[in-house]
Amino acid sequence: MKEKVNYKNIFKDGLITSNPVLVSLLGLCPVLAITTSIDNAIGMTFAVLLVLVLSNITISAIRKLVPDEIRIPIFIIVIATFVSCIELLMNAFTPTLYESLGLFIPLITVNCLILGRAEAFASKNKVLPSIVDGVGMALGYGLALFIVAFFREIIATQSLTISNPFNTAQYITFALNKDVINLSISFFATPAGAFIMLAIVIAVISAIQGAVSKRKALKKGDK
């Protein structure tokens, strides 16, 4: 009898339980470097989502054909191919976002999240579960990018700007009233500020998870 695949748990694992940034601490270089704005976070999320899902599909489909001795080089070639495609598309259609993300687009190739999911999941599972895993992990990664970028941009500039990557003339800016709240700290626009902000976010989430676990344990004890 075949074991039923729990797609909900696979997706939840990537999004929350084993969030690649907030729990597993994977792929931190882009998190620290490009989260100066919400636009960068969204752009990187879509790039990682496409690369992770497409590479998971391909690696899962060829997993039985790839000899164990050369699986890692082949995985890297597959990932690099999709990264190159995404890089060319972004350069052609979203040049401003492409320039903003810069070197961190081709560096997706060596992002330990992408290769880690290829080795740990896609190479051992069928295509559909691998797609769900890729989507969950990419969205979990994007969630972490969004949270860090949101607070960094708010604190550093006291505003949020969301641009249309296909037309730089179209954008929406939300500005805080400086007469009511004036907390502009430019330090958080620097890499060191990104490191501090990421540490704060991880600490807060860990505290929340600890409180939830204690509450569940107390409820079980009462029963």
**Per-residue pLDDT for the chain (223 aa), expressed as one digit of tens each?**
456 889 999 999 999 888 999 988 888 888 889 999 999 999 999 999 999 999 999 999 999 999 989 999 999 999 999 999 999 999 999 998 899 898 899 999 988 899 999 999 999 999 999 999 999 999 999 999 999 999 999 888 888 888 887 776 667 777 766 665 666 788 888 888 999 999 999 999 889 888 888 888 887 766 6
**Which tokens go with 45?**
């999320």
What's the CA gap between 187 and 155, in Å, rounded? Answer: 9
Among residues 116, 8, 99, 101, which one has the least CA distance to residue 46? Answer: 101
Q: What does the CA dihedral 13, 16, 20, 22 come to, rounded to 10 degrees?
A: -150
